[in-house]
Structure 1
Amino acid sequence: MMLRLTTLLFAGLLAACNHSGRWISESEGGPASLAERGDTLEIVAPEGLTLWYPEPLSGDYRIRYDATVVIGSGAHDRLADLNCFWAASDPQHPDDFFARSAWRAGTFARYNSLDLFYVGYGGNDNTTTRFRKYHGRRFGAPADEVKPLLGQYTDTAHLLRPNRPLRIEITVAGGRTTYAADGEVLFSRELAPGEGDGYFGLRLLANHTLIANFGIERL
């Protein structure tokens, strides 16, 4: 079954932990601007923003979307931080992932409280693309213990280019998770039973992004 962004109403502004269509927003500072145009979601994030798909995913699945970081004359047009979370859960609230949504409020350091996988594509002002595993039970420990680095690219071929769509594909299947961009698998990791279950989130920071053709496929 394919779930697509076909019935969303994204016009207007979202405050932290607000609901709109199929997404739940956690926004740092000022609210983000989101607008739907056909199959494309346009996002302007003045500060940190996480958009969670509101249903948890389990078993084998694939997430696909086309993402473009827009560089033009906008106040928040910045070539960096096309990021995402997946298989996210809250070890303190295993039955209510959004119990601490208002507390997280888009603040990046507070996501250290979650168990999840993370790819920061074009992070650190578009100098790195990194893959991490977060261990929320270690929240408060040094960052290298909470979210160890599993892989990294620093070459320009694996960094963002202005106004260029990237086809992102995240797969959890057969005891492994992979992250691919434009058909190239950049990161791969074996999974313990159930480790791929959880929530998916788009994670942006002070940029202007287009998300198109979003879909989730149960495998």
Structure 2
Amino acid sequence: MDSTPNSSVYTQNGKLVMDTEGGVTVWLDLELEGNYEISYSRKVVLDSGKNDRISDLNQFWAASDPTSKGMFTRSGQFESYDDMHLYYVGFGGNHNSTTRFRKYDQGEKPVLGEYLEGPYLLQANHDYQIKTICKDGKVSFLVDDVLFFEYKDPEPLTSGYFGFRSTWSRQEISDLTITRL
């Protein structure tokens, strides 16, 4: 997590809460491999909290660190992940003006899909049902059962870590399930 004074990550009422002024990644400390599905509920809260802002319902998956830095040693600043191998979706990034899918490969992070309009941007206080599927070299990202991105990777990332990512917002996450396919 960025070293910002008004940031915290905690659990409350069975939910993971990321209430941060700066960037944060909460990693699952279990490496995933092969074919799997990740699903969870996530809400970007807009109310009276000091960090409430509609932006950055993001995630990393199939993440690995080809450097000597160490997988979980990064600062929380977004740029500190640039040299990793991973898939990334930034849902409602850039002050809720973009939704992008990327594959990071040691400094290269091309945009593989992008939306700039309505149904692909965030709504306040909506419980999104997020599903990520990795199967036989194809990755899919769905929101409320709507396919946002699908990519048949010619050089798939077949193992790695999953992380919830955000910056400057308050988000609640619940009902995480990971299923081997």
Structure 1 stretches of 4+ moved >6 Å: none
1:105 is aligned to 2:75? yes
Q: Which has more strand, going by share of residues?
A: 2
Q: TM-score, normalised by structure 1?
A: 0.78
Once superposed, what is the RMSD of the aligned Cα atoms?
A: 1.6
- Counterpart residue identity of residue 118, structure 1: Y
The equivalent of 1:198 in structure 2 is: 160
- Structure 1 residue 93: Cα displacement: 4.1
Query: May I ask how many residue pairs the two structures share in their alignment?
Result: 180
The answer to whether the 8 Å contact 1:66/1:168 transfers is yes
1:34 is aligned to 2:40? no
- Structure 1 residue 63: Cα displacement: 0.6
Q: Where does 1:15-164 land on structure 2 (aligned, <5 Å)? A: 27-30=1-4, 32-93=7-68, 97-98=71-72, 101=73, 104-136=74-106, 139=107, 146-164=108-126
Q: Which fold has the larger relative contact order, with Cα–Cα distance below 8 Å and residues 6 or more apart in sequence? A: 2
Q: TM-score, normalised by structure 2?
A: 0.93
Sequence identity percentage? 38
- Deviation per CA, 1:176-212: give whole Å up to 9, x if none: 1111000011111113566131010111100000101
The equivalent of 1:182 in structure 2 is: 144
Give the match's secondary structure for 1:198.
strand
The equivalent of 1:6 in structure 2 is: none
- Cα distance in 2 for partners of 1:124, 1:58 equals 31
5+ residue gaps, structure 2, are none
- Structure 1 residue 113: Cα displacement: 1.0
The answer to whether the 8 Å contact 1:58/1:194 transfers is no
Give the match's secondary structure for 1:211.
strand
Larger Rg: 1
